[in-house]
Structure 1
Amino acid sequence: MTRLITHAQRTLIAVLAVIATAGLAIAYEVEPMRIILDLGSGRTSTIITINNTRDSDLPVEIVMKRRIVHPDGTQEFLPAEDDFSVFPPQALVPAGQSQAVRISYIGDPDLEDSAAFIAEVQEVPVSEPGFTGVVFAYNFGVAIYVRADDARADVAVSDISREVDGLVFTASNSGTDFAMLSDMALRLAVGEETVRLTPAQLAELVENPIIPPHGSREFRLPITGLPDGPLTIAID
């Protein structure tokens, strides 16, 4: 079982290497990429930083979107400009310099369930006079989670099955906060044999780990060749 997990990790490393190589052409960065705003503690504002590592100016605008995660892992993005104040909403970041952007949640202060949003940093494409080629623009999505007051996640695993390309199971979250499969550990047991998948391993095996409040997700782990017998998966 360990060899199978290691093989999946090697595959992921190869994919990440390709992405990293492609990223060299993007030549600008946004940080941080994941933010939690907590209504219970009064933290409703944050700052993201756009670093322009190019040798030319970078025009950008920030667009706020509501993030809906469906059971099959597909996502839907809806306009959310009324839920946030963004300053500045547009900026021209000089070559080699940075721009700080303040993002403040101004939506419903009495959320019953935590909500997920994206601050999309959109590069504004600019073409030089007389240029007739293709202008590429790159966008970054900063994940922003607005945590409801006293929100908690409560995850349970069910509907486990073996398939040709791996294990399939459903993770249901009956709580009011978002859960991340990659923040948990899973224990797989077949008879007397068990294997524990750490959060780091799950982060590499699962592309989209989000389990929304009062929602369910189907996950597939590329683990095959397990012994015959009853199979259980538990949150460890």
Structure 2
Amino acid sequence: MKYIISFLFFVISYSVFAFEVRPMVSEIKPSGSQSQQTMRVYNSTKDPLTIEIEAYDLSIDSDGQEKLAINDEDFLIIPITSIVQPGKSQSIIVRYIGDPVLSSSKAYRIAINQIPLTLDPSSSSGVTMAMNFHTLLNVVPENAEANVSIKGKKQVSKGVWSVDLENTGNKFIRLTQSKWKIHNKDEEFVLEGKELSQSLSGKIVLPNSKSTVLVRVPPQFNASDSDLEVTL
């Protein structure tokens, strides 16, 4: 038991004191001076941190599940690998060099991957631990706008709805920045901000796409006799 407790303590300690990445969400333009983002990696550990950076195309299926595909062409990343000393930070420039004329926004994950650290070099088990951050980066053309509509909803279980959303606009939707208003004949309830973020199974709806998300609602609201309004 003491070994399990020690391991759990190590995992918790490691996650608390490992490196940080900022910002985790960003938006840039497809061309011009606003077509790049500077990210910063902070090493709050006591050991040198070796990282590598990769870009991925982000797509989302109709069930809200993310799909990632490596993209080696749309970004110039400087540096692409780095060693960050203890207590120091490293700036990373991510510049978009893909198609400068976009009809709708494009979503990417910029991955900051720690090159695995061997916990015990003398051990033959080869146990390693590493942390990876997948930041969200959207390339958005001028005057792009999102447009959300609710195509349907149903009760999944008590306090949980399944909601079908459609974005007919040419800009992505961050659902965590929207407002969900639920009301029946007796009362009204509003979900937004942190509470909404914690209640949703999906966070993004891409341009010209549909997505089904689960949302936790107060148990007194039933999908069949309640109205739902989502505003951006």
Give the TM-score taking structure 1 as reference length: 0.84
Structure 2 residue 151 is matched with structure 1 residue 162:
no
- CA–CA distance in 2 between the matches of 1:135 and 1:143? 26
Letter in 1 for 2:93: R
Q: How many Å apart are 1:200 and its aligned residue? A: 3.2
Q: Superposition pairs for residues 147-158 of structure 1, below 5 Å?
A: 147-158=140-151
Letter in 2 for 1:148: P
Q: How many equivalent pairs are there?
A: 217
Q: How many Å apart are 1:60 and its aligned residue? A: 0.7
Question: Over residues 51-73 of structure 1, what are the superposed CA-to-partner deviations in whole Å (9 max), with x where a residue is unaligned?
Answer: 11111111110011111111211
Q: How many Å apart are 1:188 and its aligned residue? A: 1.2
Question: Over residues 165-214 of structure 1, what are the superposed CA-to-partner deviations in whole Å (9 max), with x where a residue is unaligned?
Answer: 41221111000000122111111122353222223321121142101101
Which residue of structure 1 aligns with residue 226 of structure 2?
231
- CA–CA distance in 1 between the matches of 2:96 and 2:129? 31
Q: How many Å apart are 1:20 and its aligned residue? A: 7.1
Which residue of structure 2 aligns with residue 63 of structure 1?
54
Give the TM-score taking structure 2 as reference length: 0.85
Structure 2 residue 137 is matched with structure 1 residue 144:
yes
Question: Over residues 205-228 of structure 1, what are the superposed CA-to-partner deviations in whole Å (9 max), with x where a residue is unaligned?
Answer: 114210110111112222223269
Q: Percent of counterpart pairs with the same letter?
A: 21
Q: How many Å apart are 1:146 and its aligned residue? A: 0.6
Contact 2:153 2:223 in 1 (8 A): no
Contact 2:30 2:99 in 1 (8 A): no
- CA–CA distance in 1 between the matches of 2:89 and 2:39? 10
Structure 2 residue 15 is matched with structure 1 residue 23:
yes
SS at match of 1:201: helix
Letter in 1 for 2:139: V
SS at match of 1:110: coil
Question: Over residues 24-72 of structure 1, what are the superposed CA-to-partner deviations in whole Å (9 max), with x where a residue is unaligned?
Answer: 25x1111111110023775101111111111111111001111111121
Q: 1:183 to 1:129 in 2, by over 3 A?
A: closer
- CA–CA distance in 2 between the matches of 1:227 and 1:98? 49
Letter in 2 for 1:206: L
**What is the RMSD computed on CA atoms of the aligned residues?**
2.2
- Name which of 115, 130, 139 aligns with 2:106: 115
SS at match of 2:128: coil
Which residue of structure 2 aligns with residue 222 of structure 1?
216
- CA–CA distance in 2 between the matches of 1:112 and 1:20? 44
Which residue of structure 2 aligns with residue 90 of structure 1?
81
Contact 2:152 2:163 in 1 (8 A): yes
Which residue of structure 2 aligns with residue 173 of structure 1?
167
